[in-house]
Amino acid sequence: MLDRLKELGREATAALQSAATLMELESVRVKYLGRKSELNQVSRGLKDLESDERRSVGRAVNELKNELGALLEQSKERLESAGEPSAGLDLTLPGRMPWVGGKHPLTRTYERLESIFRGLGFEVALGPDVEDDFHNFDALNIPADHPARDGWDTIYIDDDSLLRTHMSPVQIRVMESRKPPIRIIAPGRVYRNESADASHGSEFYQLEGLYVDRDVRFGELKGVLIRFMRELFGENVTLRFRAGFFPFTEPSTEVDVKCLICQGSGCSVCSGTGWVELLGAGMVDPRVFEAVGYDPGEFSGYAFGLGVDRICMMMTGTDDIRLFLENDLRFLRQI
Ligand code: FA5
């Protein structure tokens, strides 16, 4: 036994002295001085030895432990002074990524919509948040005394300036500035003086689309909207085209998607109906063409306006539109 201890001592000394890193030193310590080391086993077996042998082996074990302990300290100092990092550092652990922020879910949704429509040949057009009556209403065939104005609860700034209630005024601005063919999308924030609930915001985002050329048909509008919805939600999305009314389109339609929050069984987002209205659309009314100086006998077109927040809700499974503007990082990090 004493011979074996001597041999063990020689091996451990050589290993401690030749350890090149603190990590290597730590494994040498575990091997020769750790709980499962041979030296520790000898130590634990002392009680089974005859008393003479127990005394001599016990002394040799203690001396060896002290010697190796001192050697371990020396080697540690040697490596640390040579610039080795602490032995507690586990280089195999994955790093901690710093939080670098990210895009708001509404921005991500808009970017996705833009990329789909760009792929379908649309370019982006912009307009001002503060509009006048002419662009927000009159040119869109909604004169001052028209009851349809009630449909947009308007926030006026003064007699003739207001916060745009929808993105359709950008259609007018684009048509005023150029001739067909026109194929644009107009994204932006809109404002309505209405009280918010799970699916209605008083500030929200819309994306308007407009295509004007010769001989544009309703079938093309339907085709573009179906293609767009399938690109966005997948080929199996269930859509519903309902007859609708907008003063600036005729005929008009509203398009609903089967609620992706409750899969159509009814929830607060779809008000228990199983369907969520995502957009309004239709063929541009001849009176709109007249307002911008186009000949309605020569040109035809379609327009649509979709709710970006509602689409974002469907894409992210968010069941309350108000969460998007609360800026609670716990929510924003989650989706
Ligand atoms: C309009 O604003 C029309 N300008 C859309 C349009 C454009 C029709 C071109 C025809 C041709 P509407 O008010 O329905 O329509 O709004 C369009 C979409 O915006 C709705 O389908 C819905 O997805 C979204 N939306 C409407 N009101 C709210 C609201 N309060 N909160 C969140 N999203 C809304």
**What string of DSSP letters covers 44-89?**
HHGGGS-HHHHHHHHHHHHHHHHHHHHHHHHHHHHHHHTTPPPTT-
Ligand 1 and 210: CB distance under 6 A: no
- pLDDT per position as a tens digit, 178-224: 999 999 999 999 999 989 999 999 999 999 999 999 999 999 999 99
Low-confidence residues of the chain: pLDDT under 50: none
What is the per-residue pLDDT for 82? Answer: 77
208 Cα–ligand 1 center, Å:
9
What is the per-residue pLDDT for 89? Answer: 73
Return the residue matching tokens 């307002």: 291
165: nearest Cα among 155, 150, 176: 155
257 Cα–ligand 1 center, Å:
14
Which ligand 1 atom is the nearest neighbour of the CA of 165? Answer: 2
What is the per-residue pLDDT for 87? Answer: 55
Q: What is the DSSP letter of 261?
A: T
**Can you name the residues that pair with 307 across neighbouring β-strands?**
206
Distance CA 178, CA 195 (A): 38
295 Cα–ligand 1 center, Å:
27
309 Cα–ligand 1 center, Å:
11
Contacts of 297 (CB under 8 A, 6+ apart): none
Ligand 1 and 204: CB distance under 6 A: yes
Ligand 1 and 209: CB distance under 6 A: no
What is the per-residue pLDDT for 59? Answer: 93
Which ligand 1 atom is the nearest neighbour of the CA of 284? Answer: 11
Ligand 1 and 307: CB distance under 6 A: yes
Residue nearest to atom 5 of ligand 1 (CA): 305
Residue nearest to atom 14 of ligand 1 (CA): 280
What is the per-residue pLDDT for 312? Answer: 96
Return the residue matching tokens 């550092």: 89
What is the per-residue pLDDT for 149? Answer: 80
φ and ψ of 20, to 5 deg = -95, -15
Distance CA 175, CA 294 (A): 8
Ligand 1 and 249: CB distance under 6 A: yes
pTM here is 0.74
49 Cα–ligand 1 center, Å:
91
Let me know: does 61 contact 2? Beta carbons within 8 Å.
no
Which ligand 1 atom is the nearest neighbour of the CA of 140? Answer: 4
Distance CA 245, CA 242 (A): 10
